Amino acid sequence: MYCFEHDNEICIIDCGVLFPDDDLLGVDYVIPDYHHLIRMNKKHKILVITHGHEDHIGGIPFLLKQVKIDAIYAPRFAKALILKKLNEHKGLEHTKIIEVNEDSNIQTKYFQIGFFNTIHSIPDSLGVLINTPNGRVVETGDFKFDFTPVGTNADYQKMAFIGASQPDLLMSDSTNSGVEEMSISERVVAKEVLDIMRNNTESRLIVATFASNVYRVAQIMEAAVKCHRKVIVFGRSMENVVDIGRKMGTIKIKNSQMLKPEELAHTPDDKVCIICTGSQGEPLAALSRIANGTHKHIHLKPGDTIVFSSNPIPGNEDSVNRVVDNLFRAGAKVLTKSILNNLHTTGHASQKEQKLMIQLIKPKYFMPVHGEFKMLMHHRQTAIDTGIPPENTFICANGDILILRDHQVLPSNWRFQGDDIYVDGNDVSGLSTAVLKDRRILAENGMVAVVIAIDSKTNTLLAPPVILSRGFVFIKDSQGLMKEASFIVGKSLQEQMKEKTTFGELKNCVRSTLEPFLYKKTHRNPIVIPVIINSRKTMEELAKKRKSHRSKPREKVKED
């Protein structure tokens, strides 16, 4: 998300979401911090979308719940995806969304915004030109250059025309800045998939790819139809994209060429092509469930051919390897991207393509965007190699500000709050780092609860502390440890209660006594939760219940 602000207007480019790493336990999404936009709610704001991938549109529902947006401007395919997303959130169904294309022009009081076609792995991908009273900015969105594209070609002439008008700042996609060579064409991948289908004439074909790679999905379907196979799609995100792609005309396949789940068992193997999610080893995705034998409709057969039309995203290698191993164990033949085949190509520009973009736009200043820090640094060096002075390049962190004034770009000495917000479910307030820290401790070391019964009137301990454990140690094997812990905590509490004390001091006494003891004995640091019962009457009632329970016949106790 990038915000361009002038007087009482803000133009926002993209509003994405990040999917959490494994260490963010229980977190569903990571979104930007919208606090600045919330504070500026009286200003007029528009949201411009470059394309329909989740890292560019996924945060829109969370933004709209907190920030007033006058209108969303999005290309055709992105608009359809946004509408489907907003229909799942009550109260956002009637958001104003205006469709734009390469010929569109948005005019506000201070901003004039134009567009140009780019190539990406999803249809209707646009770069953005923003004219302001102080200068011109070009934001590429995600892009690559493919000289034999599957969909709409990049608008080289318009990019060159923009370059001739001397824009001030170029903000350019950095995702593949560490890759030197030009990326291969999507048509090469399509040919490879078609060859695999033609050479596997007896087995079922299961192809796993990114649901967001609409052109790839379309080409896999076309190849299947050419090889007289019927297509079935599994995975919620894949089903959504295929449904929208067919309505938009990007995916051309007839109903008669599609299979329903109940028809799968009665269709010959050599007439079936299954397209599914799970190319990154996601535990709940369709391919993982197929590999584990838990999928409702698909059970692997020896000889099935599985094609991974993707590359593992860094960090997902272990998950992908586990799925591949399970597929091999089931007797399947697995094909992945390697030097021997061209089963995947990227949707992002390599160094040579990034240089071409810089040469076409010819900016005075340069800001690499959309990538990890090392990618931004690689892209900055690429810009310097093409002739942009080092002092005219800017590496910005979340919350950093650049000032565009009279066609000059300057870094600001102040910044906005730009932390990540961790979303659990649909709660946009976010989780604090303390909550995540506690979840991590619970996952690694478990929890110990200490129940203390006291009478505050007499300042006495009514019974020895009761210690309960979850995820820390196996109670039956650790009776001695628990008894010793109870004795030590009870002794410490008695010392504390010789003088007037408070509930807070008692809880701190429990923690400060028990935590070092448990670490000394087990070398683990569970979360210690003291629970204080302050009632002699309650304890007497509990004692009566326990006594009554013990007096019941043995058979009845077993039933309970």
pLDDT of residue 413: 87
What is the residue extent of each domain of the chain?
A: 2-181+347-424, 186-335, 433-559
pLDDT score of 233 more than 60: yes
* Domain 433-559 annotated CATH 3.10.20.580: yes
Per CATH, 186-335 and 433-559 having the same topology is answered no
The mean per-residue pLDDT over the stretch 257-285 comes to 91
pLDDT score of 554 more than 70: no
Which tens digits make up the pLDDT trace of 396-447?
999 999 999 999 999 998 888 777 887 776 666 665 556 667 777 788 888 8
pLDDT of residue 427: 63
State pTM to two decimals: 0.80
Torsion sign, CA atoms 290, 292, 293, 296: negative
Mean pLDDT score of the chain: 89
Buried b (16+ CB within 10 A) or exposed e, 407-429: eebeeeeeeeebebbbbbeeebe
- Write out the two tokens for 99: 């469709």
Per mean pLDDT, which of 184-188, 199-203, 348-352, 411-415 is the most reliable?
348-352
pLDDT score of 559 more than 90: no
State the Cα angle at 285 between 282 and 291, rounded to 5°: 90
Q: What is the DSSP string of 90-157?
A: TT-TT--EEEE-TT-EEE-SS-EEEEEE-B-SSSS-EEEEEEETTEEEEE--S-B--SS-SSSPP-HH
pLDDT of residue 542: 63
Q: 239 Cβ partners below 8 Å, 6+ apart?
A: 233
Instruction: Using the structure block, give the residue that is written with the tokens 């734009």.
Output: 100
The mean per-residue pLDDT over the stretch 173-183 comes to 92
pLDDT of residue 556: 42
Which tens digits make up the pLDDT trace of 344-379?
889 999 999 999 999 999 999 999 999 999 999 999
pLDDT of residue 154: 96
Exposed, middle or buried, 431 (CB in 10 Å: 0-12/13-18/19+)?
middle
pLDDT of residue 358: 98
CA 389 to chain centre: 35
Instruction: Using the structure block, give the residue that is written with the tokens 């609409």.
Output: 214
Q: Among 213, 224, 216, which Cα is nearest to 190's? A: 216
Q: Which residues are catalytic?
A: 173, 348
pLDDT of residue 99: 97
* Domain 2-181+347-424 annotated CATH 3.60.15.10: yes
pLDDT score of 546 more than 90: no
pLDDT score of 10 more than 60: yes
Question: Which has more pLDDT, 539 or 16?
Answer: 16
Half-sphere exposure of 187 (CA within 13 A, CB side): 7
Tell me, letter by letter, the H, E, C secondary structure of 519-541. Answer: HHHHCCCCEEEEEEEECHHHHHH
**Contact criterion met (CB below 8 Å) for 527 and 445:** yes
pLDDT of residue 460: 85
- Write out the two tokens for 20: 């959490």
CATH number of 186-335: 3.40.50.10710
Give the Cα separation of 172 and 138 in Å (integer).
8
Question: Which has more pLDDT, 477 or 296?
Answer: 296
Percent above pLDDT 70 for the chain? 91
Which tens digits make up the pLDDT trace of 55-92?
999 999 999 999 999 999 999 999 999 999 999 888 88
pLDDT of residue 442: 81
Relative orientation angle of helices 236-248 and 214-226, to the nearest 10 degrees: 80
- Write out the two tokens for 257: 């060429």
Lowest mean pLDDT among 291-300, 454-463, 509-518: 454-463
Give the Cα separation of 346 and 352 in Å (integer).
14
pLDDT of residue 204: 93
Dihedral, 517, 520, 523, 525 alpha carbons, nearest 10: 20
CA 99 to chain centre: 26
Q: What is the DSSP string of 305-335?
A: EEEE-S-PPTT-HHHHHHHHHHHHHTT-EEE
Other beta carbons less than 10 A from residue 247's beta carbon:
10
**Contact criterion met (CB below 8 Å) for 250 and 77:** yes
Give the Cα separation of 436 and 494 in Å (integer).
34
pLDDT score of 534 more than 90: no
Which of the four pLDDT bands, split at 50, 70 and 90, describes residue 101? very high
Lowest mean pLDDT among 78-87, 153-162, 258-267, 311-320: 311-320
Strand, helix or coil for residue 262: helix
pLDDT of residue 557: 37
The mean per-residue pLDDT over the stretch 234-246 comes to 93
**Residue 221 vs residues 8, 80, 269, 451: alpha-carbon distances, Å:** 49, 21, 16, 62
Dihedral, 349, 157, 74, 114 alpha carbons, nearest 10: 120
